[in-house]
Every structure is written in structure tokens, then in C-alpha cells.
């Protein structure tokens, strides 16, 4: 377009042509250095005439020699008179089209090699250069004789060298001719074309080459110039496109490859397991990754027709939108008509890829399944019919025999059904008893022995009851009802009896003689109150089933009313009730009281043993005077029910004084507290008074306040002191009085004076199973009564024994105050007392006890006594002899000292050798007069040495036995030989033979012999002498 206002003749000129990037920044390109990318399609000196404001058409050609790149240039138009203007030209290049398209097919996971033959000249480059030569715009640029290309692949499944070199064959041949002096004909044959590797042209199109053409490694690819070796290893079947881009300083070459991964010939086994006439289908997936459909042709090789599938099958091509492979399944069906075990073969041929898939088929058909599970509901002793559909799977008329394992049924013995037809068979049921029965009915073809069958679930409802029997009873009591049964048969009838309902008791079987009428006793004894329905069912296989409907009514037991308890205020009264457990399981009762203030159960946990009774104590503590207080005490368990007791009590005014005893040493005060509980439900004001009739200041109240306020059901501590001045009896009375109502509680305080503690330990020691009988004198400090007058001042003694030794001490130790018959051993002073001691222990023990002597008129003496029974002598010594690592045993019997059984422990003491063991180590010892319990001592030595020993101890709660056990080894006796059994001297013949053999083995002196053969020289003579 002419931008000027006058006509002009413009001279077009291209200037400042260069290679740039997308932002028009200049970049270098060797492939474009010698070639201009933009060209004018007019002669060089041609001018373009354009009128003012008019337009003209000018063609610019764009021929890039590098890609992908961007090119920019300025197209200028110049006129001397009008002026000049410019256009900017911007061009973008794309990679060239592929020079060749090649295909290769390789099996998946295998390696295939494809060689690309690359000529020295590039046809696309030659055509572009030829076009430039026709325009004579640039000087001709000769191709170098050697071009090095960089190789780039677009697919990771192809591999190639990073560089490849192409050499001009004409130059290479000329050099080889000069060096070797090759013939002229050979030179002419190679002069007109580029050097190619064997077997290929420069412009092959759509060449196909099978897999495994040349299995060459990449290490040798660079050895042959002009050839590019490509390795293809497909991962799985499919199509793998690849673009090979070769770039050099001269040109760019692109080759297109299509690799196809073939699936290896598939060969596998399919197992089918089903029942006759039950078809199963296995879907065989076929994956098609290509862009064309595959025609699959199946072929079955079998003797029968059990395996089947479509005879024509198409595997769909991959999805065009997503490019994902398409999976199409081939349905293979196993349809056995009867039980069988067959083998077959299926071959799937892929015509598209020429692949074959082979499948070994194995089918097992077991017995057919039931046609249907039929549930029939009916009533006992009533007829019910049902029609079964019989299917004939054969092509001919068939007769089916009817078989069944159900009882009390009737129907035809056979049925005929047309070929491939169905028939109805009616079967009648008349069961005699209620319940659920599961069985089957089978229809068997007489000719082929094929059968169809049904499973039958017969749900029989009970018949109508004979009678409704009401049973009413209080829980944990019983009521009985008689049911009359008649046997109309000539045989003995045994009825099975089923009782349904809580608390029903009766015989499980009932026997009736022929034509007998008898009465069945049904007992109803419930544990829990409830109203329910029950049944009593009588069943016999011949007579059938009949039953009685029971209306069960268990009523709660009425509360048991206990006698009215009377108790003084401030005290408590108790009553004991006995609760029975009617079950065979242990029961733990929960208890509660409606009046927890006055009535409570003493036992925190009440456990009733199975089928046993347990006594429970209920305690009453009154809180009102002369008024009746009541409560209901409940004992409950979810299984055995509930016991209710109505208890009541009346509170009486306090009459009897409570006894309080306090003990103190002479002239040593002690304090003690009396706890007084307010029995009322309101606060009281109590007046506390201490009265004494003896010496003053012996008893004193420690609380100076005579009046105290005590809250409802609260307690008050009343402290007092006691300090006896002499060894006599002291007494006092503590009174607690309230004005409203006027009541007084009395506490009789008995003060006991005790002598100072005696630091002497009085010991009585005797060996176990021995007896000690002696008289022992004790000094009672403060006792001033003459021995002859002590009947006035009566003395008693008591031994306080620790809990763990009470049982054994009570059986073996006795002590009393008694004078010795020997006057010399009688008490010599008023403060002495004589004790008779009997100590006869049967087992060792040691116990520290307290001996307390009390005077009736007042006074107490306490002494520390030690009772010690030492170990007795061993009862016997037992010797056991045994060799090393071999056990030897000795057995003996032992019975108890008394005529009762006793538990024992048997063991060796800690100092015994570990080689000894005893059996049994515990058990029950038989009583005296019997054969006794057998004990076995085992000795097993493990090493030699001095004899070992141990002490065996057998003890019961009362008796102790000990045995010394010695273990020895058998005495060793050395063997004695009468004459030697081994000859130690050689015979003369043997000695002579050995000497001859030694002479023969002597070494020969060859040097001496050789020297002696040359003459009798002096040197030889000397050597011989040596």
C-alpha cells in the first residue's frame, strides 16, 4: 500500500535478516548462516509501480533452514521522489516432516534391533538448495564430507547412540582407491552416490521388519557410519510410536517409527468346578491397545459339548478420546448336563496380530443342587399335600422313580414326563409329632439314572391341646396335678415327656403296660412370681403326640412376720432367719431394709451354697421408748426370687447396767473411755455422774463438764481415770441421765489392780515327743495371804497364747495352780504360788505366751512364758546305694499317731544333699491302726566323692517325724587276671623275618660303587673304608 499522496515506483529491498527468539532477541544458528530465510519472488532490479493511496501485491517466500526457530527481516520500499517505508517480516519454522516411516514388531519384554540407513545427502535439504540455486540469490555451499548428528528419541522404550556420523562415500572411495590401488570399475560404481550400509536405500517407505532382526548391543552401534541402530524393548503388548530427531550443524532429519509389542503365545489352564446342570462362565480379558479392531477366532477341541462360547468375537480398538487400551472379555461357559470330569482345549487366534492364545480346560461337575428348598407347614395328625415340579432334561420320554427319606408321607411311586418337559407330582404329608424335620425327595430317571431333587423342610405345628390345666402356686412352694394316660395298644408304650415352662417338674419318660391306664404327676414349683403359659407334651412314635396347655400363675410369697423384739434403749437385739437355696448353683443375695435406722442385716455378703441353707442375722436397735417400730427386710436374687421378712421391736427403758473393766498397775493411773450413743432421733442433754463407794481419787472423770449435748443417734466419749493404791478390787458406777424422758443408763466399772511387770522370761523346754511334768514356783508381788488361808483369796491362772499357736499349745500344754506333793517344793512365803506344768509336744515349735494369775478379791499378775519344743532324735537311719547317674529308691509306710486322717508335708531340710528326693511331698496321712501311707525316697548321684546324707522331715499339724538318709556308691572291686591276655614278646621266626626285611631296605651307596668300578685307587679305597 502506497502511504504517499503521489504515484511512486518503489524499489523493494530485504535488509537486516536474522535469527531470533520469540521476543525478537538475536540468536545464533549455524544451519542458517549461509542462507537467507526470506526471498522476493521478483527479479532483483524490478520496481513496483503503485498509485497514490493504492495497493500492489508482492510475493515474499519464507524458506528456513533451522527449526524450531524464529526469523525477522525488514522489507523496504524506496522511491527517490516520494520517499521510503518498511515492513517487518516475522517467520516461525517447524520441524521438517519425517523422511521415513518404519515399523518394527517385537514380543513384550523381548529386545528387537532396527537399523536406519542414513544417506549423506538429505532430499529435503537438496530440494531447498535446488530452489535457491534456481533463484541465484546465494552462492552454492558445498556439503561437508563428514556430518555428525545428535540423536534424540521421543519414546523411553527405544534406545540409540547419542551421536551418529554420515560420510560422503565418493570422498571415502577416492581415498581408499589411492591407498589400495583399487580397480577403475569399482571406483566408477561408487562415484555417483552416497555410501550406504548393506541392504538399504535412502528413501524406503513403510518398511516392515519382524522382531529379532539383528540382536546387536549398543556398544557396536557407532562402528558403522551412516547406520543408526535402534533397540526396542516393549514392556507389554501395544503400539509404541517414536520420533527420531537428528540434528547437526548442516541440517535436521526426522524419522518416524512405530513399534508394536506383541503378546507372547498365551498358554494357561482354567479349572471349572460346579454342579451338574449349573452353568458357570469365565470371562477371558483381551486388551487391545491399537487403533483397529481385532477379529478373534475361537476353536474348541473337546469330545463332548460341555465347553462353549461365541464362534465369532471382536476385540474393540482403544478409545479415541482418551487413548487408553480397551479390554474386551470373551465369555467361556462350562455347562455340564450331568456329573462329569472332562478336559478340553480352547484356541483363540488373533487375526490382527497373528497371535494365538491357548487354554487347557478342565471341568468337574458334581452332584446337582436341589431344584428348590420347599417349606411345608402343617399340623400334627393332619394331612397336607404339596405339588413338586419334575423336569425332564433329556429329549425323550422318561419315567422317574420317587425316593424320599421323610416318614409319614404318601404318593405315587413313579411319574412319566415328556422330553424337555415338566410334570407335577403330588405328595401328601401326615406327621404324628410337632417340630421341624428336614429331608429330601428325589425323582430318578430309570433309564439314565439322572435325577432331580428337592430339599423339604416340614414345619409341623402341635395339634390342638387335650385340655387347659390351670396351675396356681406361691413361689418356692409346690402344687401337683394328675394327668391320666391310656395305652390302647397290645405293646408297652413309652411316652417321651417334654415340659415347657418355668417351675414345671416331672418324669422325662412315662411307661404304660398294654391296655394300662395310669396317672402322670405334674409338679409346679416356681421360683419367681409370674403369669405364663406352659405345655406338657407326651410323644410316642406309634401313638403320636398329644399335649396339655398349662396356665401357670406363680404368686409372690407373703412376707414372713417375725416375733416382736424387745430391747433396752442403747442396746440391740438380734433375730436369726434361715434361707434355703433351691437351685444347684451358688447364689449371692442382695438385702435391703425399709427402716435402716432401727433394723439392719449384720452380714454384708450373703452367699447361699447350692441346695443348702444359710442363717442370716437381723439386728434391732430401738430409737423410741415403748413404741413399736417396724421394717420390712428384703433378700433378693434374679434367679431364686425374693424373701420378705416383717420385723418389729419395742424400745424399753434401760434397766441392766453395762459392765466395764479397767486394768492398771498399782499407783500407776490409766485412762479409759466409755462410749455412749444417743438412741433417740432428737438431741438430748445428758448429766454424767461418777459414783464410788471405796477410796477416793481411785476413779475420776476427766471431763469437767457434767452436762453434755448429744445429737440424734450420735455418740459421746466419756473419759475417766483409774489409779489403784493397792492390790485389791475397786469398783465404781457411771450414770448417764436425761430428764425427758427420765432415763438413766448405768455402767458398772470394775477396776483390776495389776502387779508391776515381771521382766523375767519363764521358759519351759522339752524335746518333741517327750513330756515334761513339774511344779514351778512364782512370786506374786503384793500377795500377803498365807498358803494355808488361800481358800479365802481364790487364785486362778490363764495362759494367753498367740493365734498361730493356739491349736498346738492347747493340745500339749497344761498349767494349773497346785501344790507339790513334796513339802520341800511347796511355797515358803506368802508371796509365792505353786504351778503344776504338763508339757508333752509331738512336734517342734516355739511360742511366747502370757501367763495371767488373777485373785478373786482383786489383783492380777502377768508373766512372760516361753514354750519351746526342740527337734527329737531321728526316728530311723536309711541307707541307699546307687551307681553314678542311676536312681535307686527305698519305700516305707507311716501312719498317724492318732486314729484320724491328717494332712502332711514331706521334704528334705536345707542342709540335705540335692541328690535326694521324696514322693509324695504332701497328702493325707492314714490313721493309726492302718497299713499307713507309702513314702518313696530316691537317690541319684551325679558325681563321685564322699558319701552324702540328708534329713527327711514328715510333719502334720500335731506330729513330727525325721529320718537320716545316707547315700553311698557300690564298692569297686578291681578285676584279677590269672595270666596275661595280650602277648608282649615276638617269636624267633618273626624276629628273624623282621631282620631280613630291614637288611633289604638298607640304602645302597651308588657313589661308592661307581668309584670302585674305575680301579683300586687310593681315593676309592678310602671311600670304601668310610
What pLDDT digit, counting tens, does each position of 544-570 carry?
Answer: 788 889 999 999 989 999 999 999 999
Indicate left, alpha or beta for 277 from its phi (over 0: left) and psi (-120 to 50: alpha). Answer: left
Of 143 and 375, more confident: 375
pLDDT digits (tens, 9 = 90+) for 106-125: 888 888 898 888 888 888 88
Local structure of 349: helix, strand or coil: strand
Alpha-helical regions (H) of 41-122? none
* CA atoms within 13 A of residue 912's CA, in its CB half-sphere: 21
What mean pLDDT value characterizes the chain?
A: 84
pLDDT confidence of residue 167: 86
Question: Does residue 469 register a pLDDT over 80?
Answer: yes
Question: Does residue 77 register a pLDDT over 50?
Answer: yes
1017 — pLDDT class (breaks 50, 70, 90)? very low
171 — pLDDT class (breaks 50, 70, 90)? low
181 — pLDDT class (breaks 50, 70, 90)? very low
Pairing relation of β-strands 313-315 and 294-301?
Answer: antiparallel
Local structure of 66: helix, strand or coil: coil
Measured distance CA(422)–CA(398) in Å, rounded: 11
Question: Does residue 402 register a pLDDT over 90?
Answer: yes
Measured distance CA(782)–CA(363) in Å, rounded: 116
- By C-alpha distance, which of 696, 735, 742, 700 is closest to 719? 700
Question: Does residue 625 register a pLDDT over 60?
Answer: yes
- By C-alpha distance, which of 937, 969, 934, 965 is closest to 949? 965
pLDDT digits (tens, 9 = 90+) for 45-67: 778 888 888 888 888 888 888 88
213 — pLDDT class (breaks 50, 70, 90)? very low
620 — pLDDT class (breaks 50, 70, 90)? very high
Dig out the grid coordinates for 403 from the structure.
425316593
Cis before 741 (ω within 30) = yes
For 569-683, list the strands marked E by DSSP. Answer: 573-580, 587-593, 599-601, 606-608, 613-620, 628-637, 641-652, 658-665, 670-677
Place of cell 524490478: 46
Of 135 and 1013, more confident: 135
pLDDT digits (tens, 9 = 90+) for 781-835: 777 766 655 554 678 898 999 988 888 898 899 999 888 888 877 877 777 888 8
1020 — pLDDT class (breaks 50, 70, 90)? very low
Q: Is 667 exposed, middle or buried (0-12, 13-18, 19+ CB in 10 A)?
A: exposed
A 10 A CB-CB count for 116 gives: 24
Amino acid at each position: 500500500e502506497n502511504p504517499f499522496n503521489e504515484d511512486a515506483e518503489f524499489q523493494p529491498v530485504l535488509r537486516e535478516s536474522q535469527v531470533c527468539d520469540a521476543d525478537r532477541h538475536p540468536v545464533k544458528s549455524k544451519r542458517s548462516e549461509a542462507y537467507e530465510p526470506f526471498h522476493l519472488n521478483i527479479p532483483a532490479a524490478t520496481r513496483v509501480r503503485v498509485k497514490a493511496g493504492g495497493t500492489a501485491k508482492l510475493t515474499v517466500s519464507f524458506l528456513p533452514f533451522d527449526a524450531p526457530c524464529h526469523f525477522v527481516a525488514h522489507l523496504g520500499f524506496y522511491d527517490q521522489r516520494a520517499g521510503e517505508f518498511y515492513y517487518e517480516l516475522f517467520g516461525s519454522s517447524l520441524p521438517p516432516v519425517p523422511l521415513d516411516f518404519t515399523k518394527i514388531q517385537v514380543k513384550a519384554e523381548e529386545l528387537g534391533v532396527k537399523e536406519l540407513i542414513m544417506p549423506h545427502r538429505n532430499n529435503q535439504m537438496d530440494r531447498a538448495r535446488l530452489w535457491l540455486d534456481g533463484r541465484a540469490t546465494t552462492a552454492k555451499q558445498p556439503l561437508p564430507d563428514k556430518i555428525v548428528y545428535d540423536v534424540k528419541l521421543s519414546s523411553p522404550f527405544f534406545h540409540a547412540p547419542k551421536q551418529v556420523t554420515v560420510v560422503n562415500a565418493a570422498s571415502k572411495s577416492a581415498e581408499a582407491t589411492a591407498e589400495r590401488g583399487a580397480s577403475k570399475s569399482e571406483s566408477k560404481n561408487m562415484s555417483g552416490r552416497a555410501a550406504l550400509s548393506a541392504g538399504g536405500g535412502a528413501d524406503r517407505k513403510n518398511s516392515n521388519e519382524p522382531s529379532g532382526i539383528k540382536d546387536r548391543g549398543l556398544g557396536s552401534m557407532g562402528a558403522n557410519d551412516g547406520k543408526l541402530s535402534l533397540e526396542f524393548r516393549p514392556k507389554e503388548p501395544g503400539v509404541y510410536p517414536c520420533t527420531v530427531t537428528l540434528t547437526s550443524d548442516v541440517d535436521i532429519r526426522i524419522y518416524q517409527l512405530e513399534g508394536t509389542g506383541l503378546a507372547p503365545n498365551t498358554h494357561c489352564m482354567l479349572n471349572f468346578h460346579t454342579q451338574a446342570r449349573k452353568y458357570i462362565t469365565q470371562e477371558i480379558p483381551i486388551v487391545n491397545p491399537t487403533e483397529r479392531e481385532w477379529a478373534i477366532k475361537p476353536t474348541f477341541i473337546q469330545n463332548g459339548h460341555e465347553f462353549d462360547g461365541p464362534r465369532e468375537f471382536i476385540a474393540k480398538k482403544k478409545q479415541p478420546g482418551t487413548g487408553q487400551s480397551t479390554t474386551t472379555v470373551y465369555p467361556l461357559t462350562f455347562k455340564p448336563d450331568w456329573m462329569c470330569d472332562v478336559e478340553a482345549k480352547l484356541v483363540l487366534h488373533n487375526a490382527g496380530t497373528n497371535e494365538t492364545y491357548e487354554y487347557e480346560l478342565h471341568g468337574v461337575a458334581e452332584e446337582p443342587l436341589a431344584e428348590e428348598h420347599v417349606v411345608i407347614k402343617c399340623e400334627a395328625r393332619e394331612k397336607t399335600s404339596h405339588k413338586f415340579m419334575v423336569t425332564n432334561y433329556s429329549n425323550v420320554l422318561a419315567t422317574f422313580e420317587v425316593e424320599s427319606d421323610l416318614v409319614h408321607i404318601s404318593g405315587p411311586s413313579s411319574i412319566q414326563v415328556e422330553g424337555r418337559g415338566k410334570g407335577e407330582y403330588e405328595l401328601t404329608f401326615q406327621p404324628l409329632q410337632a417340630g421341624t424335620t428336614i429331608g429330601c425327595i428325589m425323582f430318578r430317571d430309570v433309564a439314565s439314572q439322572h435325577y432331580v431333587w428337592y430339599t423339604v423342610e416340614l414345619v409341623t405345628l402341635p395339634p390342638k391341646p387335650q385340655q387347659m390345666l390351670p396351675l396356681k402356686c406361691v413361689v418356692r412352694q409346690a402344687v401337683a396335678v394328675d394327668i391320666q394316660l391310656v395305652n390302647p395298644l397290645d405293646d408297652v408304650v413309652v411316652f417321651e415327656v417334654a415340659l415347657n415352662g418355668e417351675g414345671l417338674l416331672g418324669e422325662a419318660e412315662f411307661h404304660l403296660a398294654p391296655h394300662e391306664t395310669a396317672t402322670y404327676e405334674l409338679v409346679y414349683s416356681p421360683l419367681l412370681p409370674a403369669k405364663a403359659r406352659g405345655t406338657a407334651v407326651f410323644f410316642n412314635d406309634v401313638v403320636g403326640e398329644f399335649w396339655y396347655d398349662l396356665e401357670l400363675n406363680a404368686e409372690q410369697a407373703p412376707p414372713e412376720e417375725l416375733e416382736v423384739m424387745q430391747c433396752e434403749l442403747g442396746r440391740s437385739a438380734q433375730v436369726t432367719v434361715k434361707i434355703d437355696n433351691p437351685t444347684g448353683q451358688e447364689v449371692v443375695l442382695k438385702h435391703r431394709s425399709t427402716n435402716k435406722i432401727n433394723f439392719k442385716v449384720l452380714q454384708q455378703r450373703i452367699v447361699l451354697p447350692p441346695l443348702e441353707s444359710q442363717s442370716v442375722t437381723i439386728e434391732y436397735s430401738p430409737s423410741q421408748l415403748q413404741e413399736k417400730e417396724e421394717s420390712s427386710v428384703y433378700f433378693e436374687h434374679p434367679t431364686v426370687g425374693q424373701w420378705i421378712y416383717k420385723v418389729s421391736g419395742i424400745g424399753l427403758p434401760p434397766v441392766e447396767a453395762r459392765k466395764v473393766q479397767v486394768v492398771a498397775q498399782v499407783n500407776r493411773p490409766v485412762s479409759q473411755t466409755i462410749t455412749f450413743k444417743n438412741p433417740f432421733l432428737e438431741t438430748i442433754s445428758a448429766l454424767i455422774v461418777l459414783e464410788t463407794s471405796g477410796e477416793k481419787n481411785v476413779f475420776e472423770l476427766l471431763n469437767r463438764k457434767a452436762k453434755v449435748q448429744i445429737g440424734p443417734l450420735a455418740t459421746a466419749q466419756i473419759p475417766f481415770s483409774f489409779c489403784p493404791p493397792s492390790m485389791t478390787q475397786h469398783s465404781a458406777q457411771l450414770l448417764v441421765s436425761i430428764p425427758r424422758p427420765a432415763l438413766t443408763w448405768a455402767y458398772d466399772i470394775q477396776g483390776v489392780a495389776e502387779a508391776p511387770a515381771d521382766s523375767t522370761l519363764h521358759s519351759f523346754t522339752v524335746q518333741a515327743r517327750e513330756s515334761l511334768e513339774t511344779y514351778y514356783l512364782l512370786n506374786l508381788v503384793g500377795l500377803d495371804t498365807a498358803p494355808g488361808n488361800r481358800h479365802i483369796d481364790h487364785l486362778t491362772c490363764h495362759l494367753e497364747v498367740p493365734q498361730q499357736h493356739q491349736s498346738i499349745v492347747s493340745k500339749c500344754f497344761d498349767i494349773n495352780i497346785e501344790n507339790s506333793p513334796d513339802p520341800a517344793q511347796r511355797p515358803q512365803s506368802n508371796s509365792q504360788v505353786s504351778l503344776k506344768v504338763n508339757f508333752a509336744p509331738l512336734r517342734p515349735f516355739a511360742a511366747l505366751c502370757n501367763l495371767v494369775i488373777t485373785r478373786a478379791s482383786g489383783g492380777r499378775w502377768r508373766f512372760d512364758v516361753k514354750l519351746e519344743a526342740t527337734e527329737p532324735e531321728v526316728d530311723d537311719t536309711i541307707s541307699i546305694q546307687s551307681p553314678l547317674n542311676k536312681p535307686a529308691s527305698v519305700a516305707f509306710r507311716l501312719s498317724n499317731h492318732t486314729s484320724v486322717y491328717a494332712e502332711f508335708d514331706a521334704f528334705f531340710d536345707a542342709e540335705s544333699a540335692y541328690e535326694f528326693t521324696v514322693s509324695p511331698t504332701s497328702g493325707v496321712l492314714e490313721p493309726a491302726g492302718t497299713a499307713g501311707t507309702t513314702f518313696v525316697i530316691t537317690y541319684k548321684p551325679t558325681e563321685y566323692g564322699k558319701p552324702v546324707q540328708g534329713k527327711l522331715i514328715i510333719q502334720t499339724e500335731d506330729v513330727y517325724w525325721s529320718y537320716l538318709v545316707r547315700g553311698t556308691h557300690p564298692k569297686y572291686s578291681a578285676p584279677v587276671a590269672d595270666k596275661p591276655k595280650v602277648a608282649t614278646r615276638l617269636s624267633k621266626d618273626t624276629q628273624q623275618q623282621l631282620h631280613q626285611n630291614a637288611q633289604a631296605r638298607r640304602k645302597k651307596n651308588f657313589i661308592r660303587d661307581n668309584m670302585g668300578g674305575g680301579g683300586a685307587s687310593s681315593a676309592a679305597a678310602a671311600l670304601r673304608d668310610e
